[in-house]
């Protein structure tokens, strides 16, 4: 085990709990009724997906990954932040007098696929979900934040966390002895576009109501996936390092879906 890498992420997740000012939910909104009519159900669905559901790894073979040294502790901290996102989203739903939901067909399908396909596939799927969700929050911040301070504050907190999660996955994948060439990148982008399309089907109306566009959303996720792949290749093609044999952050040979 390489303690520096392990301690880096344990420290990151722990320190990230500090300096988290609660959004001012009492701040009056300047969002219109039509915008809120589309936005609030979207927020409720994200509340369910981020922490209102299982909020953990659920693949059939997850224990094979979680029983590695300290893996469970890292995953606990990661999903603790997801549960915090659910709480924030729930507060936003309450502010706008929306309805909380306990199920949604797309989330049920998402969970079933994660469960069946194995932990390796689940980890990759969750990474792509982080990337496309980050684009959603960026557009909400850009188009809705200027007219609602609490939405802006909520989005900034969630984006801060999601950016850390994406970097965590980049480190984890860089240790896997894999080659991230054109075929891998093509499959990664294809899965990312599929995840983004599912998100847009469910939430595009909310972003469009705020003033965002379909082209803007797809451009954001495409650029984010490209940045991730290029950053991953730089890390992987760098100088040889003992980090490459770290068992905690790697997901190679851990289940189906690769």
What pLDDT band is residue 241 in, cutting at 50, 70 and 90? very low
Measured CA to CA, the distance from residue 204 to residue 106 in angstroms comes to 14
How many domains does one find in the chain? Answer: 1
Q: Which domain holds residue 123?
A: 31-237
Alpha-carbon gap, residue 152 to 130, rounded angstroms: 18
In degrees rounded to 5, what are phi and psi of residue 98?
-90, 180
Residue 20 counted as domain residue: no
Tens of pLDDT along 88-138?
Answer: 999 999 999 999 998 888 888 999 999 999 999 999 999 999 999 999 999
pLDDT score for 106 = 87
| Structural domain contains residue 13 | no
Does a structural domain hold residue 5?
Answer: no
Q: CA separation (Å) from 109 to 75, 90, 105, 206, 223?
A: 22, 22, 6, 22, 27
Tell me the whole-structure pTM to 2 decimals: 0.88
The CATH number linked to 140 is 1.20.1260
Residue 57 lies in a domain: yes
């Amino acid at each position: 085990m390489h303690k520096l890498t392990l301690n880096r992420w344990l420290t990151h997740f722990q320190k990230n709990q500090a300096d988290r000012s609660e959004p001012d939910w009492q701040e009056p909104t300047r969002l219109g009724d039509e915008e809120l009519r589309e936005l609030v159900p979207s927020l409720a669905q994200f509340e369910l997906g981020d922490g209102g559901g299982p909020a953990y790894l659920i693949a059939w073979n997850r224990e094979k990954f979680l029983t590695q040294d300290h893996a469970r502790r890292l995953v606990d901290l990661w999903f603790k932040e997801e549960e915090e996102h659910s709480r924030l989203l729930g507060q936003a739903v309450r502010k706008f007098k929306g309805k909380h939901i306990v199920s949604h067909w797309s989330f049920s399908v998402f969970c079933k696929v994660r469960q069946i396909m194995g932990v390796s596939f689940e980890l990759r799927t969750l990474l792509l979900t982080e990337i496309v969700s980050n684009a959603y929050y960026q557009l909400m911040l850009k188009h809705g934040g200027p007219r609602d301070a609490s939405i802006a504050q909520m989005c900034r907190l969630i984006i801060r966390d999601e950016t850390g999660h994406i970097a965590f996955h980049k480190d984890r994948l860089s240790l896997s002895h894999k080659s991230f060439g054109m075929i891998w990148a093509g499959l990664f982008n294809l899965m990312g576009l599929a995840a983004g399309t599912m998100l847009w089907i469910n939430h595009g109306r909310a972003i469009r109501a705020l003033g965002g566009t379909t082209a803007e959303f797809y451009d954001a996720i495409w650029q984010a996936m490209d940045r991730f792949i290029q950053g991953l290749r730089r890390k992987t093609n760098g100088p040889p390092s003992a980090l490459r044999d770290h068992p905690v952050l790697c997901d190679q040979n851990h289940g189906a879906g690769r």
